[in-house]
Amino acid sequence: MYEKVNGEINTSAVHVVDLRSDTISKPTPEMREAMATAVVGDDVFGEDPTVAELERRSAELLGKEDAVFVASGTMANLIAIMVHCSQRGSEIISGDNGHTFRFEQGGPAQIAGVQASLIRNNSDGTFSLDELRDRIRKNPDCHEPYTTLVIIENTHNMCGGKVLPLDWIEKVKNISKEYNIPVHMDGARVMNAAVYLKVPVERVVRDVDTVCFCLSKGLGAPIGSILAGSKTFVDKARRTRKVLGGGWRQAGIIAAAGLVALDKMIDRLQEDHDHILQIARGISDMKSKTFQVDLSGVQTNILMMYLDKSIITAKEVQKRLASVFETDEVKVCVKTSSRDAGVIRFVTYWEISDQDVTAAVKKLQLVIREIDNRHN
Ligand SMILES: *Cc1c(COP(=O)(O)O)cnc(C)c1O
């Protein structure tokens, strides 16, 4: 991608590498073609054959009885919580760094009326199983809420795209099952997890009752997520989607892109993982004291770069990465995201090419060298 960056430079075009999120990925030409020719109908009447096909194929891929196409990952998680926790006075157990808790506007509390009980996330996206068992309300008396759901996240976004170990997921299931509590997987990027583990995604989600994944992230589709589970669960989810305003009409137009995503965009995710590792190596090679990555912990398409915020904040570094000055020998603008002054996040997706990665590494090294020189 080449475009002019405001301000600093206007003499030549600048190479922009946008690593803020995989949600930025645009539909592929094949998706646009499929969208243009999709056979559609009114999906609220159950008459859109393309949506039906996407739901059927998704359920099959996940090894679940049924699936429903929804507007977003946030909506998928909210619906799952509303269906699992329909009883008032419900409590969910999840990791404290989970997307449903941190970045969904408190929807579980705000809309579903559910309280969260949080266990500190380990750096690999898991949490303590002993604590899980402790926190489950056993035969709650009139003082306590009912534990109605356990949520796990795979891959774990804020833990840097970590893939949950399969045996840990199985243990979560076994503990939850003892108390008859279902497990929901926020699998926004669960396809990345399957590619990393080199197993069918069906295996990754085997031990959870319900799971959602985003078509609109690394899979490149423009809009939408899938929520899957038992037939009874999905029937209720469909009903809940409607009250949230998510009953849509000729949604086959976008489901068509989702079908291309399932066919063409899963196996290629390895390329995104390779790219993120290349960026991690580029940072690690600098042996900087201020900027660190956990090279051996890089697994999928997300990388966290940790910085010493007593020296410089993420905001300042991000600004420098995105700026290009006349005097810079590297004319590259790298866009990144951050939720914390001490961390910068990089995410790769299908439009990020080998050339983009090489350029981004050059720019990162330039900025790290510059800041290290200034502070040593
Ligand atoms: C992006 C994301 C979501 C929400 O998806 P949207 O489609 O952006 O609403 C949920 N969970 C995780 C882990 C995510 O990364």
DSSP per-residue letters across 5-21: PTTT--SS-EEEEE-S-
Give the DSSP letter of residue 152.
E
> Within 6 Å (CB) of ligand 1, which residues are found?
72-74, 77, 99, 153, 157, 186, 188, 214, 216, 225
375 confidence band (pLDDT: 50, 70, 90): confident
Domain ranges of the chain: 11-25+268-375, 29-264
Non-local CB neighbours of 35 within 8 Å, separated by 6+ positions: 27, 253, 254, 256, 257
pTM across the whole model? 0.95
β-strand pairing of 90-95 with 66-70: unpaired
Find, among 229, 184, 161, the residue nearest to 78 by Cα. Answer: 184
Fold adopted by 29-264: Aspartate Aminotransferase; domain 2 (3.40.640)
What's the pLDDT tens digit per position in 263-295?
Answer: 999 999 999 999 999 999 999 999 999 999 999
Residue 11 has pLDDT above 90, yes or no: no
Write down the CATH superfamily of domain 11-25+268-375.
Answer: Aspartate Aminotransferase, domain 1 (3.90.1150.10)
174 confidence band (pLDDT: 50, 70, 90): very high
Rounded distance between C-alpha atoms, residue 116 and residue 141, angstroms? 18
Residue 48 has pLDDT above 90, yes or no: yes
Rounded distance between C-alpha atoms, residue 273 and residue 271, angstroms? 5
Please give the distance, rounded to the nearest whole angstrom, from the Cα atom of residue 360 to the centre of ligand 1.
25
Mean pLDDT for the stretch of residues 64-84: 98
143 confidence band (pLDDT: 50, 70, 90): very high
Q: Lowest-pLDDT range, 1-10, 36-45, 191-200, 298-307?
A: 1-10
The sign of the CA dihedral 69, 70, 71, 74 is negative
Q: Counting runs of H as helices and runs of E as strands, what totals does the chain give? A: 14, 14
Which of 22, 25, 100, 103 has the most ligand 1 atoms within 8 A of CB, as the residue to mutate? 103
